[in-house]
Copies of this chain bind each other. A is one copy, B any other.
Amino acid sequence: MRHELTELEGITLGWIRGHEPATPYAVRVQFEQSPSSRFTGSAGAIYPLMRRLEKRGLLASEPTATGRRTGRAYRVTPEGTRALRAWLKSPLEPADMFTIDPLRTRVLYLQHLGPAERDAWVDKAERCLREQLALISDYEALHADDPFHRLANDNARRETRARLAWIRAVRAALS
C-alpha cells in the first residue's frame, strides 16, 4: 500500500478534493493561473498523473460528455483522501524544507561580474521582486474567500518582502 505522493500529485489530489468532479483540463487551468512557476501544469504531466492516481486507487473516474466530446471526470476516493492526509502531514523533515531561491545561488558567484554588472543585477532583482508582490496581490484577489488560500498568500508575501529587504542589504554590502 504505497501512499507516498510527489508534490505535484499531492497538490493535484488536494485541489480535486475541493472541486469534484474535476477534469484534467480544469486542473491544468488551475496550475496555469497560479503565479508559481514550479509546475507548468502541462497536459503531458496532468493527464498521465491522473490516470496513474486512478490506477493506484486514489482517484475514481466517470466518463463525461459535454456535447459530443468524450472525457473523464475524477473524484478522490476514500483511499485517496487517506493518501492526501498522509501527504499533508508527512514531509516536514528539516532537510526537506529548505527553500530554493535562485537569487541566493547566484549571489554566491557574483564575484565573477564586474561592479557595474553587479549593480544592474541587483536592480533587476529588486524590480522583479516588486513585480512579484504585485502578482501576489492579483492572485490573492481571486481567492479572497478561502481563508487557507489567504494564509498561503500571506506566506508568499512575507517571503517576498524578506527577499526584498535582503536584496537591499546586498546592494548596501556591495558598495
Contact = CB atoms under 8 A, between A and B. Distances in A.
Interface in A1-49: 7, 10-11, 14-15, 17-18, 35-38
B148 A169 contact: no
Contacts of A165: 158
A3 to B, nearest CB: 14
A126 B173 CA distance: 30
Contacts of A128: 92-94, 97
Task: Indicate the size class of the contact surface on chain A.
Answer: 35 or more
Given A88-B109, A113-B85, A158 B148 contact: no
A14 B14 CA distance: 39
Contact of A109 (B37, B96, B148, B166): B148
